[in-house]
Amino acid sequence: MGPFEYLWLTLFIIFICIAFVRKYPKELGTTTLIFVALFLITYVGMPKLPKVLNDLSSQFLETPLSQRDMQHLLATIFSLTFVGIVFSSYAGQTFSFKGKPVGGARGFIYNLLVGVMNGYLIAGTLWFFQDYYQYPITDFHLLYLPLTPVGEQIANFLPPYVVPPAYLAILVAIMLLFRVRK
């Protein structure tokens, strides 16, 4: 396997390509749901779920989970929850913004910008779960550490590190206002 960040760069590029196919009005609907998912996970899930899991483990297994087992479990739960929400936002009847996409250079730029944002949010959030929980995926020898110097720099700018949960709630409200405006 190559450097860890190559996987995330590949995901980033895939979501840029998806934005060109779907066009920015549909992608902005996905962006809104990504903000909702990030808010719920970082504001509600991450602070509360570790205690709940420890309590359940102590009650049913009669022993608390080890720190590494907890990191594996939390990274998996949050990653799968996030992927499920993102998948749902792309599948079937999607939450999209009104209007007809503009064509030409302006449409190209809009699609590119929204694709870059969604790619950053999706790939960056999945990377964040690994970084925050000390890269549990490396225990399965699927990806390897250490990060390259560029990867270490990128890891400092992952979405949940850059945008606090309170701001995510504000972004959701702003996106919803744009969605319902006439």
Domain that holds residue 57: 4-180
Query: Which residues 6+ apart lie within 8 Å of 155 measured at CB?
Result: 127, 131, 147
Domain count, the chain: 1
Average pLDDT, the chain: 90
21 vs 1, which has greater pLDDT? 21
Residue 182: the pLDDT is: 52
Using a pLDDT cut of 90, give the percent of the chain over it: 62
* Cross-strand pairs, 3: 144
Burial of 81 (0-12, 13-18, 19+ CB in 10 A): middle
For 141-170, the pLDDT digits (tens) are 877 788 889 899 999 999 999 999 889 999
Total-model pTM: 0.91
Structure tokens at 80: 């799968």
